[in-house]
């Protein structure tokens, strides 16, 4: 006989095989799973108004959302200007009110049956007859007993999300609530505690049984908050335990080289550069140097806005290692970038007599074999290539440093792959994405962080403007006149998600039209997404050699590409791009002393609206933000040049998970806690987790056996980077 909690939900009253199947579709199989399906929100009496109160509020100028609980009297379908209007008449103890829909009458007719009770929320409208109306309100059905209970005793009512899969087997608000309530009453007392007692006591947490019971039927808001805190703490604790174990693994797996910095060759090298390093670059270099010199293996994240000069910092770090007779490797996300790095770096280190090799797609096997052999024999000092090729099958003679030029994607998984393959060197990951501190701490908590927070001195801020399509002739004129002064221009057309053929045709026709008409007196070249990288690269280099004035591109110009004389970028249909993409694109220009320009082009109406749109997140509702996302993005681009500010705006538009690639981090998704909002809780859970893992990395002590079991049970797929897998 299995313990009851692991029994299928099928055996619960009013579930049965068909509904059990629906539950299974949303990941609920056992009774225990169901106990952890928590309400998405609650209704309590303090948030409810009666009809008369609502009228008073509206008369006094209140325009926010309100909730009323009432009973359906009747409903009818009207026709108004030949359009269907569905109206429900409702009453509460104080009076009558209406609900109105302008579509879906058929569906709502079956929902609002006379005698049914509902909680209804929306912004109230006062009709000319002094009557309250809700247009397209949110609503939740209540049982009559619930509604009475609720109004008389002030109970808090939980609402569960009724997902599509559940509706398919006729589960609605009421039935789901009943089923879960019953399960909670009967089975929650059998739940086993999932945090060690000592942690619960020390942190004043609620026990798991009480937590689950409270979340399903809270006595009051205070206990609800305490229950939520317990749940979040537990989640963050196990999450941070995983981070702590990763940190341990990276620490242990390596013997740890300690390199010696030889100042003379470095000084000589710095003299050959056409510029001086910025203070920020120097500061970061000294942080890296300390890591290299120490026995502790380096795991450092180097953050710096687009164009802040990360590459040179990486190169100098590699030189330190190479001077110690070790090898260094630089991995880039694309072939073009790898090749650009290879050409630049080869030139820069030529005077030092170092051997640089390249591993990149499209090389002949024979050629590749020779390079691999050189690397294995230690004849190569610096290897540059794409992530994929280097991870595949390269045998290094004596690898000292791995640099991952990740741009805006995250190199954490790459790094784990490296460790698994036994490529254990110091690691430096470079990114242009600014990440809030709490986030780096949580997700990349095993990395140290350096920031280049300053641009090279010779840079002028890029002038960004937003124009409607009507202005295109002026824009072409501007490109033409600037090209006389040696300016080069990127002209970007986003052709997203079109088929291969259509994209190719559209790209060519744009290009031909520009060559024939608008820009016929300039030298144009074209790059599109269907070209091989070698073709793209040839054009890119010819462009860099000033063989062309304008580069027309249908894909995003390779991230990281560095062409100092290109100082104008025109982005057509700019509303189609995300904020970080726009910032990356803009970062292709403004890499020299000359004034650079970024011209965003959108439809005329859109451009006018966006230029007038003065957004302030404090005053915008989530719906307003949702509706005006593209206006906000373009507006933000015009106003801000710093990647950090833009990233914050982006985070508000999209939520943290999407930007920072939490999926790529290989850590579990957080269901209850929010990294940005629950910072304090996170910090305390993290401290507890780190203390335990540092003392007992393999969780072998008896007092930690519960933690170990829970990790194995619930986080099995996230344990690759731990020693308890
Ligand atoms: P990113 O940080 O975006 O990778 P890069 O490393 O490609 O930026 O550098 C952008 C440009 O700035 C390059 O042309 C590089 O030579 C130049 N650069 C780097 N450091 C400095 C500096 N201290 N002063 C002037 N120019 C610099
Ligand atoms: Mg770069």
Instruction: Out of 273, 285, 309, give the residue to mutate to test ligand 1, the one with the largest number of ligand atoms within 8 Å of its CB.
Output: 309
Beta carbons within 8 Å of 496's beta carbon, 6+ residues apart: 576
Report CA(408)–ligand 2 centroid distance (Å).
10
CA 106 – CA 83 distance, rounded (Å): 14
pLDDT for position 659: 46
Domains 263-294+309-431 and 463-640 share a fold: yes
- Quick check: CB of 407 below 6 Å from ligand 1? no
> Cβ(380) to ligand 1 under 6 A?
no
CATH of domain 263-294+309-431: 3.40.50.300
Q: Of all atoms in ligand 1, which is nearest to the CA of residue 405?
A: 4
| Segment 15-72, tens digit of pLDDT | 999 999 999 999 999 999 999 999 988 887 777 888 998 998 888 887 778 889 999 9
Q: Which CATH architecture has domain 45-155?
A: Beta Barrel (2.40)
Paired tokens of 589 = 């220009």
Query: How many angstroms does the Cα of residue 298 sit away from the middle of ligand 2?
Result: 20
Determine if ligand 1 sits within 6 Å of the CB of residue 332.
Answer: no
Residue-wise pLDDT for 186-208, tens only, equals: 999 999 999 999 999 999 999 99
Q: End-to-end CA distance of the chain: give it in Å, rounded.
A: 29
What's the chain's average pLDDT?
86
Q: Where does 60-172 have alpha helices with state H? A: 105-111, 144-153, 164-167
Mutate-to-test residue for ligand 1 from 303, 307, 338, highest number of ligand atoms within 8 A of CB: 307
CB atoms within 10 A of CB 397: 14
* CB of residue 564 inside a 6 A radius of ligand 1: yes
Residue to substitute in 312, 318, 428, 451 for testing ligand 1 pocket (most ligand atoms within 8 angstroms of CB): 312
> Which ligand ends up closest to the CA of 591?
1
Kindly identify the ligand whose nearest atom is closest to the C-alpha of 333: 2
Kindly report which listed range (246-260, 469-483, 528-542, 692-706) carries the lowest average pLDDT score: 246-260
By most ligand atoms within 8 Å of CB, the mutation choice from 272, 311, 314 for ligand 1 is 311
- The whole-angstrom separation of Cα 450 and Cα 293 is 16
Cβ of 303 below 6 Å from ligand 1 = no
431 Cα–ligand 1 center, Å: 14
Residues lining ion ligand 2 (Cβ < 5 A) are 560
Pick the CATH number of 463-640 from 3.10.450.50, 3.40.50.12780, 3.40.50.300, 3.20.20.190: 3.40.50.300
242 - beta bridge partners? Answer: none
What gap in Å lies between CA 22 and CA 295, rounded to an integer? 56
Map out the domains of the chain as residue ranges: 45-155, 263-294+309-431, 463-640
Task: Pick the residue whose CA is nearest to atom 12 on ligand 1.
Answer: 309
Tell me, using a 6 A CB cutoff, whether residue 565 lines ligand 1. Answer: no
Assign 370 to helix, strand or coil. helix
**pTM value?**
0.68
pLDDT digits (tens, 9 = 90+) for 625-656: 778 888 899 999 999 988 888 887 887 787 65
Which atom of ligand 1 sits closest to the CA of residue 276? 23
The tens digit of pLDDT for each residue in 106-136 reads 888 888 999 999 999 888 998 888 889 999 8
Give the pLDDT of residue 1: 40
Ligand 2 centroid–CA 343 distance in Å is 14
């Amino acid at each position: 006989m299995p313990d009851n909690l692991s029994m299928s939900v099928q055996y619960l009253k009013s579930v049965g095989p068909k509904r059990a199947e629906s539950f299974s579709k949303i990941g609920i199989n056992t009774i225990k799973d169901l106990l952890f399906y928590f309400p998405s929100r609650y209704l309590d009496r303090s948030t409810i108004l009666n009809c008369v109160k609502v009228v008073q509020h509206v008369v006094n100028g209140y325009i926010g959302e309100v909730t009323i609980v009432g009973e359906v009297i009747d409903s009818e379908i009207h026709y108004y200007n030949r359009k269907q209007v569905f109206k429900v008449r409702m009453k509460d103890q104080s009076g009558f009110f209406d609900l109105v829909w302008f579509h879906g009458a058929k569906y709502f007719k079956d929902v609002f049956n006379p005698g049914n009770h509902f909680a209804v929320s929306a912004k109230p409208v006062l009709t000319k007859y002094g009557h309250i109306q809700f247009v397209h309100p949110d609503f939740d059905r209540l049982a009559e007993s619930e509604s009475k209970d609720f109004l008389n005793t002030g109970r808090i009512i939980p609402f569960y999300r009724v997902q599509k899969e559940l509706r398919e087997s006729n589960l609605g608000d009421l039935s789901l609530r009943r089923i879960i309530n019953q399960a909670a009453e009967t089975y929650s007392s059998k739940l086993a505690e999932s945090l060690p007692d000592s942690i619960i006591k020390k942190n004043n947490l609620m026990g798991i049984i009480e937590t689950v019971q409270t979340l399903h039927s809270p006595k009051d808001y205070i206990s609800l908050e305490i229950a939520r805190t317990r749940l979040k703490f537990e989640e963050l604790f196990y999450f941070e335990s995983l981070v702590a174990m990763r940190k341990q693994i990276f620490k242990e797996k390596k013997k740890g080289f300690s390199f010696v910095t030889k100042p003379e060759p470095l000084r000589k090298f710095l003299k050959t550069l056409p510029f001086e390093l910025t203070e920020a670059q120097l500061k970061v270099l000294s942080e890296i140097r300390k890591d290299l010199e120490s026995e502790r293996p380096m795991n450092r994240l180097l953050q710096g806005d687009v164009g802040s000069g990360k590459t040179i910092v990486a190169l100098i770090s590699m030189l330190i290692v190479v001077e110690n007779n070790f090898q260094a490797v630089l991995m880039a996300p694309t072939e073009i970038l790898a090749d650009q790095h290879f050409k630049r770096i080869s030139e820069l280190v030529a005077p030092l007599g170092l051997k640089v090799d390249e591993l990149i797609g499209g090389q002949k096997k024979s050629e590749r074999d020779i390079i691999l052999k050189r690397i294995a024999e230690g004849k190569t000092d610096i290897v540059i290539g794409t992530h994929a090729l280097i991870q595949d099958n390269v045998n290094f003679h004596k690898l000292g440093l791995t640099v991952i030029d990740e741009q805006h994607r995250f190199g954490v998984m790459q790094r784990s792959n490296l460790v698994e393959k036994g490529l254990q060197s110091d690691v430096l990951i470079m990114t242009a994405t600014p990440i809030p501190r709490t986030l780096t701490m949580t997700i990349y908590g095993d990395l140290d962080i350096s920031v280049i927070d300053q641009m090279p001195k010779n840079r002028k801020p890029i002038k960004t403007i937003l124009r409607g399509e009507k202005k295109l002739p002026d824009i072409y004129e501007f490109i033409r006149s600037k090209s006389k002064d040696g300016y080069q221009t990127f002209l970007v057309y986003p052709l997203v998600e079109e088929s291969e053929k259509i994209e190719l045709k559209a790209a060519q026709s744009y290009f031909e039209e520009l060559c024939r008409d608008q820009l016929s007196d300039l030298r144009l070249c074209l790059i599109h997404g269907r070209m091989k990288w070698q073709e793209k690269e040839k054009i890119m280099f010819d462009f860099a050699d000033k063989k062309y004035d304008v580069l027309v591109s249908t894909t995003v110009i390779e991230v990281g590409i560095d062409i100092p004389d290109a100082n104008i970028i025109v982005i057509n249909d700019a509303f189609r791009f995300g904020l970080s993409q726009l910032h990356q694109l803009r970062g292709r220009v403004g890499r020299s002393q000359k004034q650079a320009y970024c011209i965003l082009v959108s439809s005329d109406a859109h451009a006018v609206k966006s230029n007038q749109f003065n957004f302030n997140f404090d005053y915008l509702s989530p719906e307003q933000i949702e509706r005006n996302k593209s206006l906000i993005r373009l507006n933000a681009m015009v106003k801000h040049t710093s990647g950090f500010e833009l990233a914050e705006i982006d985070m508000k538009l999209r939520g943290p998970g999407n930007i920072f690639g939490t999926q790529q981090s290989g850590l579990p998704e957080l269901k209850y806690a929010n990294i940005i909002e629950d910072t304090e809780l996170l910090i305390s859970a993290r401290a507890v987790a780190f203390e335990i893992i540092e003392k007992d990395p393999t969780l072998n002590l008896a007092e930690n056996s519960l933690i170990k079991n829970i990790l194995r049970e619930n986080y099995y797929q996230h344990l690759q980077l731990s020693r308890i897998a």
